[in-house]
Amino acid sequence: MNMNSVQVNQYLWCGYLPPSEFPAWLSDCITPAATGKEYSPREAAERFDALFDALVEQASSGRHIIPLSGGWDSRAILGALLERLDSDRITTVTFGVPGQLDYDLGKMVADSTGIERHAIDLRSVEFTWEAVRQSVITSPWTYVPDGLFNSLCRNLVSSSSDTIWSGFLGGPLAGSHLSDPSMPHYEQIVAFSSKQQRGKTHPLCPPSFSLTDALPLPETNIKTRYNDALDLGLRQACGIAPIVLPIDKWEQWGAVIGKERCGAQVIAPFADSTWAGYWLSAPREVRKGQILYLEMLNLKFPELFSLPGKANYGTKWSHGVRSMVRKGSHFFRSQVQRRAPWLGIRSSLAANYLDYNEMFRNREDYQATLGAAFEYLKENHVVPWLDLDALWEEHMRRRRDHGDAFCVLLGLAANCAENPLE
């Protein structure tokens, strides 16, 4: 099989396939600070209201479905819709595993409002090689099995007359991924590259590969916002968008996206160009730590945002010490898990979806699916430098946790089979 070695290694490193150049549309909203804009919680709230007033008018006539996690963006959408719609027209869907913040907090927030909600335990979903391969057709060259689970859960609770509201880009625009702007561009891309490494327990790429050298350089008109360009134009456009939206990549500003397999309309309000322009021209001091965004949300929805959040490790804003204790406990258990998995000390508190390390160890369907992927990679000589059997043995004997690496290898095999690289 002829393979593009650079792209294969990019995927092995990131778990998604970055573009060869920055998207042309990116600079439409990445501009120097604009005049005539006030960056206060009240001004931001007025812009938020104008955004949702317009979008609710464009929504379908049926129910409004919100994939609700433990984060702020989906909660902000819930608050906005509760202000504008009868509660019996709003439904939430939460998925993961009990004991995880996204799952538990999503349920708790929905229950606090009294609206209809669905909670899907992903352990109940049968995991097959055929399902993984089918999922990458609509969610190509991105995180696996994230696209499978997101699409499954969105379509499971929706119909053709409904509207699904996605929190895509909410946090990144508001400043959740900012880095030090004083860093030279090369150092920023080095830092970005390091953060993108998906499988950290074992190097999946040959030693000669450098993601830094394989990523595009900034164009002149986006140099002032290079950190935003890296996150929005590479990871969000090609890594996150195909997971949370029914598109293969993010190609333009605009909140009204398209339709799901079930026919439901999809709206991503924070991808609106006016909203994006407001935040991307904002001074760094109001975006750092999402300070203005969170002040605006607390002003708009004090009850919803008084509830525990994932960013606070399941505690309330006022519980600073408790949050630090839970964060410290999670960090300690995670470090022990990474360094000494045989001890059985684990933390799934902040995990997304599932504990893949244990799923591959204990579930026959996960083992069979990974086995099929490994067989494909071996037969087609896709990663000849990797000893896949040794990785499997090391994982099963609890010498190391390779769950993240296995997900990347699953994604590589499925995408090579269904979306061959040119």
**pLDDT value for 294:** 95
Residues in the chain: 422
Nearest Cα residue to 169 out of 279, 59, 246: 279
Structure-token match 């209201």, residue found: 49
pLDDT tier at 330, thresholds 50, 70, 90 = very low
Burial of 374: CB neighbours in 10 Å, binned 0-12, 13-18, 19+: buried
**Does residue 347 surpass a pLDDT of 80?**
no
Instruction: State the Cα–Cα distance between residues 159 and 181, nearest whole angstrom.
Output: 44
pLDDT tier at 324, thresholds 50, 70, 90 = low
**pLDDT value for 180:** 76
pLDDT digits (tens, 9 = 90+) for 42-82: 999 999 999 999 999 999 889 999 999 999 999 999 999 99
pLDDT digits (tens, 9 = 90+) for 254-269: 999 999 999 999 999 9
- All domains in the chain, ordered by first residue: 5-343 (3.40.50)
Cβ atoms within 10 Å of 275's Cβ, excluding its own: 22
Nearest Cα residue to 334 out of 401, 407, 406: 401
Structure-token match 């059997």, residue found: 389
Name the percent of the chain lying above pLDDT 90: 70
* pTM reported for the whole predicted model: 0.90
Percent helix, strand, coil in the chain, to 5, is 55, 5, 35
What is the arithmetic mean of pLDDT over 135-139? 96
Best-predicted range by mean pLDDT (58-62, 137-141, 177-181, 334-338): 137-141
**Does residue 343 surpass a pLDDT of 60?**
no
Six-digit token string for 194: 């390091």
Please report which helix (H) or strand (E) contains residue 53, including its range: helix 41-58
